Chains A and B, each alone.
Chain A
Amino acid sequence: MPSAFATNMRFKFSILAIFLEVLIIILFGIFVRYENTQPTTKDIFLYPFFQDVHVMIFVGFGFLMTFLKKYGFSSVGINMLIAALGLQWGTLMQGFWHMEAQKINIGIKSMINADFSTATVLISFGAVLGKTSPVQMLIMTILEITIFSCNEHLVVKVLGATDTGASMTIHAFGAYFGLSAARVLYRPGLKEGHKNEESVYHSDMFAMIGTLFLWLFWPSFNSAMAHADLQQRTIINTYFSMAACTLTAFALSSLVEHRGKLDMVHIQNATLAGGVAVGSCADMSIYPLGAMLIGSIAGLISVIGFKFLTPFFFSKLKIHDTCGVHNLHGLPGLLGGLASIIAAMAHVKLGETSPSAPMQAAALGCTIGIALVGGAFAGLVLNLPFLGQPPDENCYNDSVYWEVPAEETRPAGQFGDYGDHRTVNINM
């Protein structure tokens, strides 16, 4: 089918993007206004937290996905596109649940929430990375954020569950949504793998930039929405969980690889699992002990997931998860949900009371359920043949959608193969 793979998106993409943008501006004009109460210093106090989250969304998630050797532009660029569009749509969608007198009031807090809502799409983007077009990503952004904000309202307001760092509502939701969409978008032609689906030395270094920025600012991510009195505890719990998780990830990576070598993929991803897993109960009084326990288990299951589960998913369940989001966000998100259920059963205090275990379990269950159904629906929509998805042989390649500057002619034939050409120089 030639029309299915018409990847020239000059009009499709630009007209859809401009249309969405105009629509959003009109909706903003009708519904959105600034809070007219005098903002307290608390609002401005949250601004540094917002900036940290902002860095995680744009630099952290963007560069984390640059590990593919020919897909750097799309990883960072489309990441920026999704997040920039998503934060506007997220403001509206989350705002519709909290309208006052038919108006959405916004302030610094809604900016943080808007950034959070884009994180779900970016996680799902990781699962389908390399196999979709920007047009598809625009549609997925709109669909996923709409579903996400409904689920979040259900979990937080209707069920009254606690999920400060959003292990369930963002990470698990985004991961299972993405996996479900990836299952529907499965390409039998890529069963044997693809020659561009691998990293080179410098692309792994770029991905490490993303990892480090995510790692550094994760305490801000988990604590930005915490109650002011509990913010310090949230920061400390997240910090220790991340530290414990990093150590476990290094240890396990060395254990499962040949001759005890480290695998960069594990270091890039599994070191962050602790931040994901501790999210749900970061503001409970679990003490550093609990946080470090959760972090260690998260690092453990993340590495094991990369080593054994992802190949199994690919070969048996026909789910091709490009970035391994299931191991970084999915499993640790589940773990976070389970940890919050256990903590609730053990009557761990959150402020004055402790959360209710059945509600936490219900929150976890409905999040996973809605994500799987929503992801499958989104996958079906994205399968429509005129959305400009790349043909199998052009997957994982920037030059389908980007003007890529000419690569230099090098002996190795691949760009940026520093290692190779340094030896060439010495020989010369």
Chain B
Amino acid sequence: MGSDYPPSLRCGLPGLILFLETAFILIFWFCFSKESQSTSEDLEIYPAFQDVNVLVIFGFGFLLASFKRYGFSSIGFNLLIATLGVQWAVLVEGFLFASSAGKVKIGLHSVLKATISVTAVLISAGALLGKANPIQLIWMAMVEVAAFSTSRWINVRFLKIEEHTSLMHVHIFGTYFGLAVSWWLYHSSLSKRIEKETSNPISDLFSMLGTLFLWMFWPSFNSVLIVDVMEKRNAICNTYYAIAVSAVAAFALSSLSSRNGKIRMIHIHHAALAGGVALGFSAPVIPHPWIAMILGLLASMVAVLGSHCLQTYLNSVLKIHDTCGVHYTFGLPGLLGAIVNVILFIIIKWASLSTLGYLALIEVGSFMLTTAIGLGTGFITGFILTFKLWKTLPASKYFDDQAYWEFPHLAYGF
């Protein structure tokens, strides 16, 4: 192994984590008041908040655990960056969106918004899975949460986008940020699929467990921020039916796209979720379930087609290695949802507004802006993450738990 031996993280990682945690504690101590006045309405969202929590920690963790030698890292680092990201997101959002001078207030809502913002980091981590070490992931989480909150602040403050819509930009933002970082971390050895970058039946089942939890709790994710009861009910039902359609379509299209008619697990993992992502923006405003179901069908098609075309053509040309296929699970369905949202917006408001064109342009501009900020900040972050200072990993140690974890048993086959 010799020079390929992965650098020890002993002096870097504990120091960095402890420093950040101390900083968080001090900032929370000095800048935050105890809590806002809690009402029973705040507690009403608690079950849905728990669903989002399961989705983020459990769902994403197991979804990423699809490689046979990278299960510990997938789930472990997911937990690490999610918990770190939530604390940091509460801070950043608290300062950016502070309504009045003085101490910032914390409630269930701020934790909820922070949890949703952190999804962006987890999606980016999916694109980098196996190629970045924990130090790089932590720095990426710090930058990305700050960048996403800033982008959201611009959207809400200057473009007057609704809070719900601005938070649903996480999928687009996370994807393009991750892809831009991934461009910097590209290594020529990644053009071929190596033995470690494959799954085995057990890891595929674990990944399916994560997929199911994401899939089941997606109605909560899309509806939790909505206040109006009617819109909330519509958001839940629309997402429920759309994501069911995209699951069935994922099976059908997966079978259709393979020569011997066999279903591929990877398609199910990705395409079944696409419907929920696409519904993110427009779930509360879609008036009839069949519209949502068609959108779910389209999203599933985009995801399956994307996994065929992008992985073979686009990624090899652009030298981007998208480990978990976040581009077609979250990115493209997210863009599809954003476009459909604008179309629906125009149709619904057709008669009632004179300044329709202007407002529609604002909607288009907002998701374009988010994409651009994601790509831009991701590009800069990626450049910084290539510095040797972060103890980057040699390419031979990609997709390998052994670089980071003590093993209860030796490596053979594991």
Contact = CB atoms under 8 A, between A and B. Distances in A.
Given A47-B47, A59-B209, A403 B248 contact: no
A352 interface: no
Interface size class of A (residues with CB under 8 A): 35 or more
Contacts, number: 197
Given A13-B255, A25-B293, A403-B262, A108 B233 contact: yes
A415 B247 contact: no
Nearest to A107: B233
Interface string B42-70: 00100110010000000000000000100
Interface in B172-205: 198-202, 204-205
Nearest to B256: A14
A408 interface: yes
Contacts of A34: 233-234, 237, 287-289
A407 B201 contact: yes
Which of B51, B237, B263: most chain A CB closer than 10 A?
B263
Contacts of B208: 73, 76-77
B367 interface: no
B245 A59 contact: no
Interface string A139-173: 00000000000000000000000000000000000
A230 interface: no
A167 to B, nearest CB: 25
Given A18-B249, A62-B212, A88-B244, A80 B268 contact: yes
A17 B229 contact: no
B347 to A, nearest CB: 16
A401 B263 contact: yes
B29 interface: no
A58 B251 contact: no
Contacts of B44: 41, 44
A81 B251 contact: yes
Which of B217, B241, B247: most chain A CB closer than 10 A?
B241
Interface in A59-73: 59, 62-63, 66, 70, 72-73
A403 B233 contact: no
A209 B212 CA distance: 13
A51 B216 contact: yes
Contacts of B237: 34, 106-108, 111
B240 interface: yes
Given A10-B258, A38-B230, A73-B201, A88 B241 contact: yes
Contacts of B290: 25-26, 28-29, 32
A422 B204 contact: no
Contacts of A88: 241, 244-245, 248, 293
A187 interface: no
B36 interface: no
Contacts of B68: 408
Contacts of B205: 66, 72-73, 76, 206
A87 interface: yes
B262 A39 contact: no
B234 A81 contact: no
A257 interface: no
A107 B294 CA distance: 19
A230 B32 CA distance: 43
B199 A405 contact: yes
B413 interface: yes
B108 interface: no
Secondary structure of the A side of the interface? helix
B14 interface: no
A81 B245 contact: no
Nearest to B294: A25
Contacts of A304: none
A29 to B, nearest CB: 4
B233 A39 contact: yes
B413 A408 contact: yes
A308 interface: no
Interface string A175-198: 000000000000000000000000
A72 B201 contact: yes
Contact of B409 (A33, A40, A422): A422
B117 to A, nearest CB: 22
A393 interface: no
A58 B213 CA distance: 9
B236 A59 contact: no
Contacts of A17: 248-249, 251-252, 255
Contact of A76 (B199, B212, B260, B297): B212
B263 A402 contact: yes
B261 A51 contact: no
Contacts of B200: 405-408, 415-416
A359 interface: no
B264 A402 contact: yes
B410 interface: yes
Nearest to B238: A34
A47 B263 CA distance: 33
A416 B202 contact: yes
Contacts of B233: 34, 39, 43-44, 107-108
Given A8-B260, A25-B297, A401-B261, 11 more contacts: A13-B255, A14-B255, A28-B288, A29-B288, A47-B48, A51-B47, A51-B220, A77-B251, A77-B263, A84-B244, A107-B233
25 contacts: A9-B255, A10-B256, A13-B251, A14-B252, A14-B255, A21-B249, A26-B290, A29-B288, A34-B289, A38-B229, A38-B230, A39-B229, A48-B48, A51-B47, A51-B220, A73-B201, A84-B245, A84-B247, A107-B237, A111-B240, A402-B262, A403-B262, A403-B264, A406-B198, A425-B412
